[in-house]
Amino acid sequence: MPQANMSRTRVQVNGQSHNEQSYPYYSRVRFPFTNTTSGGPPVTNTWTIAAGTEVKAFNYAQGQQIAGAGFGTTLTATPLETNLIKQSETVAGEAVKIFGISFMLDSDADAELTRLIFANTSVRVGLNGDQQLYQLGPLSMLPGGGGLSGIGRTDAIEPDLTARFAMVGALTNGLPGRSNFYLLPTPILWLPPGGSDATLVITARVERAISFTSLNRVAQAPGANTTGAQAYTAPTTASANTLGTYTGGWFVLHSVTKAPRSSNA
């Protein structure tokens, strides 16, 4: 579907003026893999993420730690991650009518890890502390505005002998540039604090364990390397958020918001 305009209109609710606009709430998550090395040479890299691993969007606000979203304990949320001011609550007492949801892939997500996560992860929307659940199915059912298409660089698997890095192809996950999203059969209401349906969390859960191996490669000695083979060492996961060890992106709510008009708006 085409991207909605960020328009604002005035509406009357019980005699009071309200602002109504299409405001995109968003929240970022990350799926960190573990790389366990063994043997060698050549060293074997075993990449894994356990079944039952969950990362949660809209479960944090700006300034809070984002370990529950998959980023480890060293980072706090900024406007890069979310536009929430309070955890799981709408901004400024807005009522949000959600028509659709998309997953916008992070531009530094590893292509091979992305392919595996999309195939093995489910998504659910929870209101009121998961008392009201909406199962949305596999992550691959949620398109993104740019889509998951074409090819991309991966640092998690060994490249061809003459290459410094590998390229991994991916299936299409939306029409690039069209701001695709999953249209909900019935809109979901996310209401202001103080009543029911006032807290919202999106949970992405790895349903089946993922495991694969790759090999490091040592360059041959001068004179012996007639193929021009390049050395290759996979990134390690000793530190969180190391490039090439994760995939992730933003859950975006395609919605209309309504809030009482302030004196300044």
Q: Could you give the number of structural domains in the chain?
A: 1
pLDDT of 143-171, one tens digit each?
Answer: 887 555 677 778 777 787 777 788 876 54
pLDDT at 265 over 90: no
Position 216 in a domain? yes
pLDDT of 37-52, one tens digit each?
Answer: 998 788 999 999 999 9
Position 15 in a domain? no
Position 1 in a domain? no
Higher pLDDT, 147 or 34: 34
What whole-number percentage of the chain has pLDDT above 90? 54
Q: Both ends of the chain: CA-CA distance in Å?
A: 30
Per-residue confidence at 263, pLDDT binned at 50, 70, 90?
low
Higher pLDDT, 81 or 129: 81
Position 217 in a domain? yes
Position 16 in a domain? no
Range of the domain at 251: 21-260
